[in-house]
Amino acid sequence: MADFLSAYSIQYWLESCPQGYLDGTEYGHAPGEKEPDPFVSDPMLRERAIQSTVQLVVGERCALAASSGLINAAPDEASKRYLATQTLDEARHVEIFTQRLYDLGVPKSDLESVIREHANPNLVKFAEVLLEKVDRKDFVAGVVGQNIVLEGMAFTVFEMMHAMNQKVNKKFAHTLSGTIADERRHVGFGENRIGSLIQQHPEKKPEIERMQRDMSYFMLATFADAFRKAPSEEERARIRAELGERGDVEWQGKSLASVDPSEIEALLADTVLKEFKLRLGRVGIEYQSPVRP
C-alpha cells in the first residue's frame, strides 16, 4: 500500500498540479481568456450555461465536503495526506466554477439564490446519500461513493462538456481540462486504495452496493431532468446556425449537434454506468442497476 500511495504524495501533487498543468493559469484557464460572445449575449445560451455550471458547483461543493470529511475517517496517514490534496482540488473546482458564474454575469450578491434556483433536486439527493456515509465516518463506503461514483460521473460529464466546448468556448474547455487532470488522480486513488480495503471488509459490500444503486438512480434522474429542459428543435437549429462549424462536435463517436437531446442523455448515462461497472468490478463490488427514472 505504501508504495502506491507514494505516487499520491503532496510533493508529487505540488510538482504535477500547481507547478505542472496549472502553472500560468488563472481560474484554470489562460490569463485574459473570456467567455465568448454568444454565451454572454445570447439569453438562451447564457441561461443554459448558468444552469449547467450551477450543477457543477453543487457537485463540487459535495465533493469538497466529502473529501475533507473523509480525512478524519481515513485509517492511515498516507491516505489522510492524499485526501488533503483532493480537498484542495475540490475547493479549486468550487472556486473556478463559481468564477464562471460571475463571468457569465451572475452578480456576486445573487450567487446563492441563483444556485438555489437552478440546483437540480436529484443532484442534491445524490449528494445527501454520499454525505450520510461521510458523516458516519464510513471510510470505505465514503471513498467508493466519492472517488468511484461521484468522481466517475464527474470524469465522464467533464469529458463530454470538454468536447462540446473545445471549439466554441476555449476558455471553458481549458478550465475543464485542468479538472479532468485532477479527476484522474481522484478515480485512481479510489480504485487503488479501496480494492484492498474491500478485501479486508467483505461484510461492507451489500451496504456499499445499495449506496451505489441509490446514487446511480439520482444521477440518472439528474440527467433526465437536465435533458428534459433542453431547448426546442427550433431553438437548437438557431444555435446551430449561429455557431456554425464550431458547434459540430463529436463525442463517443456521435455528432452531438445532429442528435436529439434524449440520445445524448442515453449516451451519457450509458457511458457513465459502463464506467461504474468496470471500476466497481475492479475493486470487487458488484454493480447494481438502478431503476430507470
Partner 1 sequence: MADPGTDVHAFAPDRFIEEVHSFEFWFQAVEGYLSETRYGRRPETPDVRLDDAERDRLVTVLCNYCVGETAALEGASGLVAIAPNRLTKIFLSTQVVDEGRHLEVLLHRLGDLGVASPEAEIEKRASRSLLAFKKRLLDLVAGKDWEAAIFAQNVILEALEFTVFQAHAETADPVTRDVLLGIVKDERRHIGFGENELGRRLKTSPTTRVRLGAIQRELDPLVLAACDETLAQLGTPRSERPEVGRSYLAAVERLGFA
Is 48 near partner 1 (CB under 8 A)?
no
The window from 85-93, 140-148, 200-208, 211-219 that contacts partner 1 (CB under 8 A) reads 85-93
Query: How open is the CA angle 267-273-279, to the nearest 5 degrees?
Result: 135
For partner 1, the binding residue among 39, 48, 49, 92 (CB under 8 A) is: 92
For partner 1, the binding residue among 14, 30, 237, 259 (CB under 8 A) is: 14
Distance of closest approach, residue 108 Cβ to partner 1, in angstroms: 8
Is 177 near partner 1 (CB under 8 A)?
no
Measure the CA–CA gap between 226 and 160, rounded to whole angstroms.
14
Measure the CA–CA gap between 131 and 59, rounded to whole angstroms.
12
Is 84 near partner 1 (CB under 8 A)?
yes
Cell numbers representing residue 246 in the block: 464550431
Beta bridge partners of 254: 251
Measure the CA–CA gap between 275 and 99, rounded to whole angstroms.
30
In 3D space, the residue among 265, 246, 238 whose CA is nearest the CA of residue 45 turns out to be 238
Residue type, 198: I
Is 98 near partner 1 (CB under 8 A)?
yes
The window from 69-77, 177-185, 215-223, 264-272 that contacts partner 1 (CB under 8 A) reads 69-77
Give the other-Cβ count within 10 Å of 10's Cβ.
12
Answer for the pair 120, 56: CB distance below 8 angstroms, yes or no: no
For partner 1, the binding residue among 4, 21, 22, 267 (CB under 8 A) is: 22
Is 127 near partner 1 (CB under 8 A)?
no
Residue closer to partner 1 (CB basis): 71 or 266: 71
Binding-site ranges for partner 1 (CB under 8 A)? 9-11, 13-14, 18-19, 22, 26-27, 64-65, 68-69, 71-72, 77, 80-81, 83-85, 87-88, 90-92, 94-95, 98
